[in-house]
Amino acid sequence: MELVIPSHDQPAEPRIVDGDEENIQCSPLLFKEDFLSDQYFGENQPASIVTEKVHFGEGMHRKAFRTTLREGNLPSFNPGHPCVLKVHNAIGYGTKNNEELVQKNYSLAVEECHVQNTAREYIKAYNSVAKSAESFGELPEIIPIYLVHRPSNNIPYATLEEELLGDFVKYSVKDGKEINLMRRDSEAGQKCCAFQHWVYTQTEGNLLVTDMQGVGMKLTDVGIATCKKGYKGFRGNCATSFIDQFKVLHLCNRYCELLGLTSLQPKPKPKPKPKTQPAPKKKTFGPVLSGKS
Mean pLDDT of 1-27: 62
Q: What is the CATH number of the domain that holds 179?
A: 3.20.200.10
Mean pLDDT of 96-118: 90
- If asked whether residues 110 and 13 sit together in one domain, one would say yes
- If asked whether residues 48 and 149 sit together in one domain, one would say yes
- List the one residue out of 84, 26, 36 whose CA is nearest residue 203: 36
- If asked whether residues 241 and 108 sit together in one domain, one would say no
Residue 66 to residue 86: CA distance in whole angstroms = 9
Task: Tell whether the model's pLDDT for residue 174 goes beyond 60.
Answer: no
The predicted-structure confidence for 197-240, as pLDDT tens digits, reads as follows: 999 999 999 999 998 999 999 999 999 999 999 999 999 999 99
Residue 103, in any domain of the structure: yes
Domain count, the chain: 2
- If asked whether residues 115 and 248 sit together in one domain, one would say no
- If asked whether residues 80 and 188 sit together in one domain, one would say no
Domain boundary among 163, 178, 196: 163
- If asked whether residues 109 and 187 sit together in one domain, one would say no
Residue 210, in any domain of the structure: yes
Contacts of 15 (CB under 8 A, 6+ apart): 4, 5, 6, 7, 8
First CA to last CA distance, the chain: 132
Residue 223 to residue 17: CA distance in whole angstroms = 31
Q: What is the CATH number of the domain that holds 72?
A: 3.30.200.20
Which amino acid type is present at position 185? Answer: D
- List the one residue out of 250, 89, 116 whose CA is nearest residue 177: 250
Residue 222, in any domain of the structure: yes
Residue 274, in any domain of the structure: no
- If asked whether residues 261 and 212 sit together in one domain, one would say yes
Model confidence, pTM: 0.83
Residue 276, in any domain of the structure: no
- If asked whether residues 107 and 129 sit together in one domain, one would say yes
Residue 271, in any domain of the structure: no
Structural domain that includes position 191: 166-266
Mean pLDDT of 45-56: 93
- If asked whether residues 157 and 176 sit together in one domain, one would say no
- If asked whether residues 159 and 170 sit together in one domain, one would say no
- If asked whether residues 71 and 171 sit together in one domain, one would say no
Domain boundary among 100, 131, 163: 163
- If asked whether residues 6 and 82 sit together in one domain, one would say yes
Q: Given CA atoms 73, 78, 79, 81 in this order, what sign does their dihedral have?
A: negative
- List the one residue out of 154, 122, 137, 80 whose CA is nearest residue 219: 122
Contacts of 62 (CB under 8 A, 6+ apart): 86, 87, 88, 89, 108, 112
The predicted-structure confidence for 140-159, as pLDDT tens digits, reads as follows: 999 999 999 999 998 899 99
